[in-house]
Structure 1
């Protein structure tokens, strides 16, 4: 079975959608600071965003590992358990970083802003999902899962700025 990272690299349209509006780039995997997980688990940068943020796999294994996002301003959050879950989040709610209430209603308002500038967003998203072999997910379900992961499971994934032994701030709060 082909990895999802390979699939993204092989499907230009999927890679373009993930790059924008998803702000996800597989060629930006180096974080701007020296960091580690407080637990001592392995941390592997595998992608980034245009503002200097980095996506990390946590622990040992493959694409099934938890995905942690760290921005360039000292904030971090666990955002998914496995790459398939994370890519569904990017496909359904690429504006997830500003979706602080984790609701479909809030996401619909944000989507309206994107649709003004990108009226073909939904068909592009659907083609990207199909190219990656990912089943569509309901917006409310994806955001509820983000909340569950970031505010629940994610409490065990504390990113630390290594030179000062200072933890990053949580991106999301209860």
Structure 2
């Protein structure tokens, strides 16, 4: 079975949609500063967003590893267990950063803004999901899972600025 990273790299339409509105690019895996996990587990930056945020695989293994996101302002959250789960979130709720409480009301407001800018967003998203071989959850289920993963992460996934020794602040707290 072909990896999801390989599928994204080989399909310009998928990569373009993930880049926007997903704000996820495989060519942006370098973080703005040196960081490490407090637990000492491996941390591998593999993608980023347009504002300097980075997606990291945590621990050893393949695309099924936990994925932590760190923004460029000192915030971080464990987002998903595996790349497939992250991509489902990015496809269903690319506005997840606008939903710090992971509520349906936050998501509806953000979704309306995205759909106003991209009227065929759902059709594009569904085509990308099909190419990736992903079945999509509802927005509510994706945000609920995000909240569950982020709040259940524990000390194993605390991100630390290596030079300063400061821990990143949780992006999702309630």
Which band: TM-score by shorter chain? over 0.9
> Could you tell me how far 1:82 is from its partner in structure 2?
0.4
Give 1:48-59 correspondences, 5 Å limit.
Answer: 48-59=48-59
Change (3 A) 1:154 1:93: farther
TM-score (ref. length: structure 2):
0.97
Three-state SS of the structure 2 residue aligned to 1:160 is: strand
Corresponding residue of 1:78: 78
| SS of aligned partner of 2:18 | helix
Match of 1:108? 108
Per the alignment, residue 15 of structure 2 pairs with: 15
In structure 2, what is the Cα distance between the partners aligned to 1:82 and 1:171? 19
Q: Secondary structure at the match of 2:52?
A: coil
Encode CA deviations 1:77-134: one digit per residue, 9 max, x unaligned.
0000000000000000000011122123321221111111110101000001001110
CA positional deviation for 1:14: 1.2
Structure 2 spans left out of the alignment, 5+ residues:
none
Aligned runs of 1:1-174 on 2, under 5 Å? Answer: 1-174=1-174
Instruction: List alignment gaps of at least 5 residues for structure 1.
Output: none
Q: Distance in 2 between matches of 1:100 and 1:30?
A: 24
CA 1:67–1:154 in 2, change beyond 3 Å: closer, same or farther? farther
* Count of equivalent residues: 174
Q: Is the 8 A contact 1:75 1:169 kept in 2?
A: yes
Instruction: Describe the SS at the equivalent of 1:90.
Output: helix
Alignment check: 8 A CA contact 2:101 2:172 kept: no
Over the residues paired in the alignment, what is the CA RMSD in angstroms?
Answer: 1.0
Q: TM-score with structure 1 length normalisation?
A: 0.97
Aligned CA distance change for structure 1 residues 125 and 157 (closer, same or farther; 3 Å): same
Kindly indicate whether the alpha-carbon contact (under 8 Å) linking 1:77 and 1:154 is maintained by their aligned counterparts in 2: no
Q: Distance in 2 between matches of 1:89 and 1:97?
A: 11
Instruction: Find the residue that maps to 1:164 and give its secondary structure.
Output: coil
